[in-house]
Structure 1
């Protein structure tokens, strides 16, 4: 800001005239604040260094309130201060703005503001930026947020291929990325195993079409453990469905995989070609898929992101 330019005053709650300190952003916006709040939110050493400069280094406005020029833009500074003030919650226009606030909180050693910002950023951006948020969580040591973001990353098919790169990879170590890949793979294995043994099925399985005698049941089809009654031979189209859906889950171990499965539609098409299966297959498969999804979610939830060394 040139000397000819006049600073503007920030919007409430940073426009009060009873303040005892003014922070001026890089784009010339004055934030009227209270030293006590800044003192409470940061360490004494940082407060002394950042906000109690020698009097000769201060500028003063017409009301003789000290003015300190800081390195943050007004957008970043406002969000940071809102994190410090009680009963105030910022929202971020985009993830880059949120990252700038995190860096500012780190710079001023405002740990409480940093943790609060992490919670807000996860809540606001998780649905669209879970890989970048995984990277951020690793960068700032938020293991619980890293687990949340890693779980959402299960929606990515074949995670680890070059097409699955993301901006946040610049900010994390190879070890943190490896942790994510291992977690994704272990969840895939756990999900795939659900279809290999159906011992988790309850009594409701008994009246489903895939265990009834029908004209399409042949020899050479695999048997599986079913509920608590021992092994059972599958009808061919259902056996194929379990094999193919297991491969799909290995690559993408999440609920959406089963809801969007091509193998499901293929099984239905083959089943309706059988005079015995065709009349009830849709109802039976809908019921089975709901149980299948619930069990996959259950076993995947037991897999945890490995701790950093």
Structure 2
């Protein structure tokens, strides 16, 4: 389904004229408020939206973020996730909200529960602002840990889906935030959750994959936990950004979507590609040595967490076109960044 299929009073957004020269099909164009707009995902989502003719208002907590948004052609709203009044007013003035921000620095420094609680306050605030409007609200979440050992689908991790009792603490609270966002569909919000795999890759990435390259360089060996058969799903950043746009324009209320292109690349394969590019040996790292070798990444790297985006593709016509994870590694930019 596309937004042109839902041209009805139920979706109360204005129709703006299509931008001259645009190659996109005619859609209901929106004024979209985006949190995390200058981050790794947001900085791809913003130009994707603007390129399709939408107007973007981005939340910026720093001068650098504000400048980056202005250069991208977005309107800037200064504030943080803790400024609930700013979030409420910006959402109320918008035709839709994409919530990408999360306090990752706090989460990775031991404050995951506090970060998840701040996220919940933001979700509740957006819900209050959008209730009864039938306007779209998208929240980012993750696939990691949904169904260890098997391919996770969009049904996993839902409030009425397969149980994820293995999650606790901050991860459980963040999953509850996604449930709260989905529940807003019952309050007149066209809410959706877009789950991202642990690796959203591309040129300029400084996340898990770049960290794995840096560890290999520092240790002099490209390691993988155990036999390396555990699988990581992935998506190119440009494909993830396009899914957020498609979901904004046409996802049904209460949708759970997976931005997954590679269902599961064995970690051993990643170690082999990294070793080949760096000219390093590839070796297994025992469970006892994993924390010392991989540091904070050990807990994530050892998870077998494949995931599928097949249902998402069928629902929205989303077909990933960017390079796969191994192909992107072979393009070389991860190694140029690591040596800079």
Fold shared per TM-score above 0.5: no
Structure with a larger share of its residues in helix: 1
TM-score by length of 2: 0.21
Structure with a larger share of its residues in strand: 2
Relative contact order (C-alpha < 8 Å, sep 6+): which is higher?
Answer: 2
TM-score by length of 1: 0.22
